[in-house]
Amino acid sequence: MKLYTYFRSSAAYRVRIALNLKGVSYESTSVNLLKGEQREAQYQAINPQRRVPSLDIGGTTLIQSPAILEYLDEVYPEPPLLPVGAVNRAKVRAIASLIACDIHPLNNSATLGYLKKRLGHDQAAADEWYAHWVREGFDAIEALLGSGPYAFGSKVTLADVYLVPQVFNARRFNVPLDAYPKIVAVDAACAAHKAFQDSAPANQPDAA
């Protein structure tokens, strides 16, 4: 199994967490987004969307982190990323969707690049755009989180897999997190977990 990844991509970060949680061995292949390697013909043949992550499972390659995470949870069911009970699963999926559908698309590198290069906004305006959508999402997530230590209790779920990379990005863009003590506490609990440690951007081969 080969994961095409970039150490600071939050979508690829999610997949690394899931692979490590489930103990699935994989080969990591870096696609440097800053150098534009995702736009090269060789990578476009792997992923027509020209983004990361892509997961080569042998015979076919999967794209889009939500689809990859669902695949991993179906093929490698232990430990499960979703809790028992339809209502509980819906709550976990809501956090994941809030990040994947509402925060991340507005704040990914392609969107920020378009704001600056095509629409003429300066870095300060782009940073405020970024922070605004993080705050919009985190305000809701803070209210929706469970009692801890993880997003929904004593077991890691898909909500944690999505939340930790988004917190990493918020800190990288200097978004204050003082108003989100539950989010910060969940992130700290995950940071003590080996699967999250091994998945962290700073611990990836292409971070050097």
CATH number of the domain encompassing residue 131: 1.20.1050.10
Residue 89 pLDDT > 90: yes
Are 155 and 91 in contact by the 8 Å Cβ rule? The answer is: no
Is 208 a domain residue?
Answer: no
Residue 159: is its pLDDT beyond 80? yes
In which band, very low, low, confident or very high, does the pLDDT at 24 lie, cut at 50, 70 and 90? very high
**Residue 160 within any structural domain of the chain:** yes
The model's pLDDT over 44-55, given as tens digits with 9 standing for 90+, comes to 999 999 999 999
Average pLDDT on 16-31 reads 98
Are the CB atoms for 70 and 80 separated by under 8 Å?
no
Q: Which structural domain, as residue segments, surrounds residue 132?
A: 86-195
The CATH number of the domain holding residue 56 is: 3.40.30.10
When pLDDT is averaged across residues 161-187 and rounded to a whole number, the result is 97
Q: Are residues 75 and 122 in the same domain?
A: no
Residue 69 sits in the same domain as residue 91: no
Separation of alpha carbons 163 and 193, rounded Å: 14
Rounded to the nearest integer, the mean pLDDT of the chain is 95
Q: Between 158-172 and 86-97, two packed helices, what is the crossing angle to 10 degrees?
A: 20
Do both 22 and 115 map to the same domain?
Answer: no
In a domain, 174, yes or no: yes
If asked whether residues 67 and 93 sit together in one domain, one would say no
Verify that 95 and 62 share a domain, yes or no: no
pLDDT value at residue 27? 97
pLDDT on residue 188: 98
28 lies in a domain?
A: yes
Q: Which residue has the higher pLDDT, 125 or 157?
A: 157
d(CA 17, CA 163): 11
Question: Is it the case that residue 127 has pLDDT exceeding 90?
Answer: no
Q: Is the pLDDT of residue 101 over 80?
A: yes
Q: pLDDT band at residue 85, thresholds of 50, 70 and 90?
A: very high
Distance, in Å, from the CA atom of 79 to the CA atom of 90, rounded to the nearest integer, reads: 18
Distance CA 68, CA 13 (A): 12
Give the pLDDT band (50/70/90) at residue 126: confident
In a domain, 202, yes or no: no
Q: Are residues 8 and 24 in the same domain?
A: yes
Spatial separation of the C-alpha atoms in residues 184 and 182, rounded to whole Å: 5
Q: Is the pLDDT of residue 91 over 90?
A: yes
Question: Domains in the chain: how many in total?
Answer: 2
Q: How many helices (H) and strands (E) does the chain have?
A: 10, 4
Nearest to 151 by CA among 198, 178, 187, 175: 187
pTM: predicted TM-score of the whole model, two decimal places: 0.94
d(CA 181, CA 183): 5
